[in-house]
Chains A and B, each alone.
Chain A
Amino acid sequence: MNQIVSIGTSHHVAPVEFREKLAFSEEQLIESLHHLRESYKVDEAVILSTCNRVEVYGVANSQRTAESPVKILLDFLSNYHRISVDTLKKWSYRHHNLDTIQHLFRVTSSLDSMVVGESQILGQVKDAYDFSRSAGGAGTILNRLFAKAFSVGKRIRSETTIATGAVSISYAAVELAKKIFNTLEDKTVAIIGAGEMSELTAKHLVANGVSKVIVANRTYERAVKIAEKFKGVPVAYEQDLNFLIDADIVISSTDAPHYLIERKPLAEIMKKRKHRYMFLIDIAVPRDIEPDVSKIYHAFLYNIDDLEAVVASNLKERKQEAVRAEQIVSEEAKRFHDQLQILEVNPTIKALHQQFQQIAETELQVCLDCTTLSDTQETAVASMTQAIVKKLLHHPVENLRHAVNDGNADHGQYVQALQELFALDDNNDKEQE
């Protein structure tokens, strides 16, 4: 019987020091996929290698390989990366059939990701699958499995809200800006001070349409340097905050020990800009912007804690949704597993039918050749043989299907027994080809 197995490691079970040892480069991927097929007798394989996870999916026929398929993948990884099997066992997870399916569905649904609901993983799995397929790795079963995994991933994202709501400070700022401004196009963002977070936020804002960036720093040289990254306008500020007149979004992250933007001067500035909305984001600690600024008409102030609260509430929301998503994944995995098994036993059932049919027809012909029957009698005998075939096969076939549907692991043995007892092997192979 065909077994779908996987072995993998991720940020959940192993530190980066171990994950990097298992990572595959592109050339290594081609080589490994070839290796798996030729030396390890794995029928189909897909290898996924990202910064957070390395996973090998394989399909092997348990009748043809002496060892268990999981063991084969384990040996392969251990030999390829020269890591002892014990270490590998300690830092990895191994799945088998239903568990493999469920695991892959969880991965593509981003339920297994560091940030639940992130969108990258679906693309990464797609790339890995496309690569393995073009390298001859994936075949009928993995093609079906991955196609289903992608559709489950999409279903989860559209039917649950695990992928909505910003889960990083910078995205939370962008989302808030979108709630204030009709459009971000033709808006101007001003970054005061330097800092990774403020630059990242500005970058996201530009990606969302903000057209102009003002970079303010105490020294003009620093401002010029940072402004280069955004093609922004450098400004040096001393006492003068007049550059804020043009700014619709202000991100402040200086290390100044006192408030940089106070209520009174900002009120003046707001008057000069005719009270167009101003969204101020204070991510500095100690704070740069006087909290009372939020009392100015049309000035909206969020500090680092406020943004973090938004992120926390979104994360909580996603976690609740994840429970629902897990349910969907389980159902889909079970359904897919059952379908796959039905497909597994179908050739056997077909072969059995064919064999019985053939015998019945041959014997019927022999009988009809020796006797002289009227047309009606001939028809009666013919339909009688048909009925006998049908009734003889009814119970075995039904029971085999039941064994599959009940999730009975023995159906593999049933198939094997049927094939051996009725000598179906030859027929079966022909059928598959």
Chain B
Amino acid sequence: MHFLFLVTVLVYLAASIFQALYLAIGERTETSTLRPRIAQIAFWGTCLGFVLLTLFIILWWSRQGHFPMKHWTDSTAFFAWAITLIYLIVVRVTQLRAIGSLVIPGAFITILISYSFSRNTSALPENLETYWLVPHITLIFLAYAIFFTAFGFGVLYLIAEKSIRDKKHTVFQNLLPSLGASDELGYRCTILGLILLSIGIIIGVVLKQYIEGVILNWLDAHVFFTVVTWFIYVVHISFRQLWGWRGRKAAYSEIVGFIAVLWTYVGVKLFLDSAHTFR
């Protein structure tokens, strides 16, 4: 199984390189025949990586005997899986491939972290063995992956806007989605992510009460920052609805939102103490 994981990591590495190449080689003349091939390899490489990763997670699950969400290996592997899933859906729906150049390398880094922790496994605390845990964690990680995609669209937006304002022909200008498309997709991702995050949080609260019979400790660092993240996205969406916060401002808030996600996910666990800490 370890071997399977290693193969998965390598496939992701290759897919990331080709995804990044797709944008990086730009539109230079000698690449016009090369680029479709690179795009193909990148896409199918990602698909292959996704299949392998799915297989790995299933095996890992059955070996652990419980839903794999307690350890860094589990959660980062699942995060990479979710990012890839969202990417595949976005490409299927919109045909915009440029987003892969950002999110697939992101997925690779995540899965690399996962791999580096994969030697040791741990059991869940007795009291967390519950079916509620599965939707709680799944939804929140899906939301994170969607926020990461929104972050990607925010970055693409800023690059595209800069190139239009500077009136310069950057090498990959024509490969980027239009401003309107990046903005719209970033927004849709944000809304979808927020919905999933909300449901995930509610399930978490119910989980807490069901298991421990007590109201949630809001000062638990992880809970606190999750709510902060949730709040950032709510503000972003309201501003957009009320005062037309589109375009650059929306792109910045998508980026800020994801930084908050990252802090909640990684920062809190490394620097602060929480019941949600991975070991």
Chain A contact residues, CB within 8 Å of chain B: 159-161, 176, 178-183, 274-277, 294, 297-298, 300, 302, 306, 309-310, 313, 317, 320-321, 324
Contacts and interface: CB of A to CB of B under 8 A. Distances in A.
Given A179-B179, A302-B167, 16 more contacts: A159-B33, A160-B29, A161-B29, A161-B32, A178-B178, A179-B160, A180-B164, A181-B179, A182-B180, A182-B183, A183-B180, A275-B246, A276-B244, A277-B247, A298-B248, A306-B167
Nearest to B183: A182
Contact of A180 (B29, B174, B179): B179
Contacts of B243: 274
A245 to B, nearest CB: 13
Interface of B: 27, 29-30, 32-33, 160, 164-165, 167, 169, 173-174, 176, 178-181, 183-184, 243-244, 246-248
Contacts of B184: 182
A324 B178 contact: no
Nearest to B244: A274
Contact of B181 (A182, A275, A298, A320): A182
Contact of B178 (A160, A181, A274, A294): A181
Contact of A161 (B27, B165, B181, B183): B27
Nearest to A175: B174
B29 A317 contact: yes
A110 to B, nearest CB: 16
B180 A321 contact: no
Contact of A275 (B173, B176, B244): B244
B187 to A, nearest CB: 11
A159 B29 contact: no
Contacts of A176: 164
A180 B178 contact: yes
Contacts of B181: 182
Contact of A277 (B33, B176, B180): B180
Contact of A276 (B33, B173, B246): B246
Contacts of B179: 179-182, 277
Contacts of B246: 275-276, 298
A322 B247 CA distance: 38
Identify the interface centre among B29, B33, B248: most chain A CB within 10 Å of its CB.
B29
A307 to B, nearest CB: 9
A294 B162 CA distance: 12
A306 B243 CA distance: 32
B169 A313 contact: yes
A300 B184 CA distance: 18
Contacts of B160: 179
Nearest to A303: B167
Nearest to A307: B167
A294 B167 CA distance: 11
A-B complex: 8 closest residue pairs judged by Cβ atoms: A182-B180, A274-B244, A182-B181, A181-B180, A161-B32, A275-B244, A306-B167, A180-B179
A189 B187 CA distance: 26
A176 B160 CA distance: 11
Contacts of A160: 29, 32
B184 to A, nearest CB: 6
A179 B29 contact: no
21 contacts: A160-B32, A161-B27, A178-B178, A179-B164, A179-B174, A179-B176, A179-B178, A180-B178, A181-B180, A182-B184, A183-B180, A274-B244, A277-B179, A277-B180, A277-B247, A297-B247, A300-B164, A302-B167, A309-B167, A321-B32, A324-B30
A302 B174 CA distance: 18
A161 B169 CA distance: 15
B94 to A, nearest CB: 10
Contacts of A309: 167
A254 B70 CA distance: 68
Nearest to A294: B165
A176 B180 CA distance: 12
B164 A324 contact: no
Contacts of B178: 178-182
B68 to A, nearest CB: 39
Given A181-B178, A183-B180, A310 B169 contact: yes
Nearest to B167: A306
Which residue, B30, B180, B248, has most C-beta atoms of chain A within 10 A?
Answer: B180
A186 B32 CA distance: 33
A235 to B, nearest CB: 25
A159 B32 contact: yes
